[in-house]
Amino acid sequence: MSHKVEVWGEKVEVAVYQKSKSVWIAVGTYKGETVEVKRSTRGAALLGWKDAARYRGN
């Protein structure tokens, strides 16, 4: 499943999928780097991805 996430005013497409019962993975490319985050829910994975991309974008 694909979602649009806004990072520093830029919309980025992020893929989110469920690896196991309690592991969700969000993967996307931001500023030429692949960012991958694992969390326990889909929403947490998206928020974690956004935070990780913001950190790398600084």
Residues 6 or more apart from 7 whose CB is under 8 A from it?
30, 50, 53, 54, 57
Q: Which tokens go with 40?
A: 């326990």
**What whole-number distance in Å separates Cα of residue 16 and Cα of residue 33?**
17
- Looking at residue 56, its pLDDT comes to 86
Calpha distance 1→40 (Å, rounded): 16
pTM of the model: 0.91
Amino acid at 39: R
Contacts of residue 43, defined as CB under 8 A and 6 or more positions apart, other chains included, come to: none
| pLDDT for position 57 | 72
**Predicted local distance difference test score (pLDDT) of residue 36:** 97
- Intervals of the chain under pLDDT 50: none
